[in-house]
A and B are shown apart, each in its own frame.
Chain A
Amino acid sequence: MGILVANGCSFTYGDEMKGSRNPEGFHCDTHHHATYVAKLAELMGVPYKNLAMNGSSNEKIFRRTMHFIQTTKKDIDLLVVQWSSLGRFEIVEEQDWEHDVWVQKECNANQVHLGIKMGSVETGPRFVWEIGNKNPRNLILKHFSEEVLTVSTMVLKTLSYMNIIQHVCDIMNIRVIQHHANGVANSIVLRSMRNQHTPEYSKQIASYIKGLPRTSRIGLGKYETLWDLSNRKYGIYPCGHPKEEAHEDFAKLLYNVVIPDIPIKGKQGELEA
């Protein structure tokens, strides 16, 4: 029997659900059975492995997902990758800047979190630094992210990662679902493509999107995301995470609607069909 493997950020880890954020540490969390990953595994009747960690950037999600699927000896029946906010990247640092914010540390890498302002059609989306503490590190990060780093850079990276995962899963004959944390990702990607001064970027992004079957485009114009579903039906937890009931609904959506839609071999399967 194959297993279900999932990765993502706090949305997939199940942060803020009842039983999470145990003061003794993550290893004492007891909410796991209520996540959409556990619910989906239950519907499928398979064991699962949830690799998700709070605060993960897409760089970290990609790196850890690829490492797991390429090295595990277990058969993977389904891989579910949830992509995080486009405003995150990782830096290996001596100091742990995340010790008090419920983020699991891995490889000594801190996950930098940036807000995204949609901006006008002319300017396109931009990063904004939302953390009040103005220590020297944060000031450097604020200036770099707001004035040098572009949202398009992170869109290019993320869509490239999505295509690589799709392609590798096709070769390994692993069914894959990819979804974004919320539907805002789609607006950000589309807005970034309207910059007339970066035509090659827009062409590349269009090609990446075309390379993904709809089952890997949840939140990129297809289906409803976990956050949007929660926001519409049940509301959102204080720190912005989807509610437990939404996890249950989302698992059902994946099981009843998305999984039957998965092409046999990604794009190739669709073309052959």
Chain B
Amino acid sequence: MIVFNGCSFTYGDELPGSRHPDGLEFDTHHHLTYAHRISNLLGETPYLNLAQNASSNDKIFRRTMQFLSDLRWKKETPELLVVQWTTLGRFEIVDPSEKEYELYGVPWFVPKESSANQLIMALRYGKKEERPRIAQTDWMTKRNPLVSDFMCHQYSVETLVLHTLSQMNIIQDYCDMAGIPLIQHQYSSITYEYILKSLDDRFEELKDYKDTVVKYLKNLRKTSRIGLGNTQVPCFHTIAKQDKYKITELGHFDEGAHKEFAEVLVRDVFPIIVTPKKWRTD
């Protein structure tokens, strides 16, 4: 079985057949996703797509590890794990409120797993001499001005970078131990731009942070760095922004882009995936 996880880009939000008014369980778009296409290209290998709309990286990491752990008790191992990491600007809070639904005024299409709301933030690249920041948005202020104050003035992009790269390293090392072939990709290379900016020599005061982040990046193999400095394989967004494809108003990719991205992964990435040896105790 191939296991996929990620956010709406892997779930296939806004593909024809998604956003069923009666609920996500009635969605019929799944055959159009890159996950399904990869399964087809690999001879109808069964697959499971764990991705959920609006997932933060914390949620993607937590649910991926939990799934792998549960699977192991059943003495099963995936033939391949594909993890798509989302924008750095997300944060989860377990909260009984339905603020996201209320704010958008439309069905929100986000499963509230573990009763956690996913806060969505925009990032601000800033001027050359500024560190990247979390940007003030109307949505965040409307949700709660205190969220806005915290995210924009106190929390930092560097914290999100540190946590995401740590999570990517943990998953890669885990897969190496458990003998699971792995692909990790960023939906867009914008994350890499933010990481590089946070490493800029001008920001001398964050030396320890930078040393750790460089170490984390170096430890990731090419197959875990799609959209993260791997120049040989285009990321999902690079494919989707070609003129022949359409990006929706909410920023999601069309079925043509899903199809081409699946082909790219199978053609260019699969041959170089390292099949890890299982850990000694296996």
The chain A residues found within 8 Å of chain B, CB to CB, are: 59, 63, 66-67, 70-71, 90-94, 105-109, 136-137, 140-141, 143-144, 147-150, 152-153, 155-157, 160, 163-164, 167-168, 170-173, 195, 197-201, 204, 211, 267-268, 271
Contact = CB atoms under 8 A, between A and B. Distances in A.
Output the residue of B69, B73, B156 with the most chain A CB within 10 A.
B69
Given A91-B155, A108-B158, A171 B281 contact: yes
A152 B115 CA distance: 9
Interface stretch (B92-100, B233-241, B248-256): B92-100
A226 B166 CA distance: 29
Contacts of A268: 72-73
Interface in B64-81: 65-66, 68-69, 72-73
Interface string B91-131: 01111100000000000000011111000000000000001
- Chain B, interface size category, equals 35 or more
B115 A200 contact: yes
A212 B260 CA distance: 43
B103 to A, nearest CB: 14
A-side interface mostly: helix
Contacts of B113: 200
B177 interface: yes
B20 interface: no
A156 B146 contact: no
Given A148-B144, A150-B94, A173-B280, A167 B177 contact: no
A172 B177 contact: yes
A171 B69 CA distance: 10
Nearest to B205: A94
A60 to B, nearest CB: 10
Contact of B281 (A92, A137, A152, A173): A173
B162 interface: yes
B-side interface mostly: helix
Contact of A70 (B156, B170, B209): B170
7 contacts: A90-B159, A92-B161, A107-B209, A108-B208, A150-B95, A172-B177, A172-B281
A197 B96 contact: yes
Given A143-B146, A195-B96, A160 B156 contact: no
Contact of B154 (A137, A197, A199): A137
Interface in B171-212: 173-174, 177-178, 203, 205-209, 212
A122 B231 CA distance: 53
The 6 closest A-B pairs by CB, nearest first: A197-B96, A198-B115, A201-B115, A144-B150, A92-B158, A152-B94
Output the residue of B65, B68, B115 with the most chain A CB within 10 A.
B115
Contacts of B281: 171-173
Contact of B115 (A105, A107, A148, A199): A199
A66 B208 contact: no
B268 interface: no
B97 to A, nearest CB: 9
A130 B65 CA distance: 34
Given A90-B159, A109-B159, A67 B154 contact: no
Contacts of B280: 173
A141 B150 CA distance: 7
A204 to B, nearest CB: 4
Given A67-B166, A92-B159, A108 B147 contact: no
Contact of B58 (A141, A147, A157, A267): A157
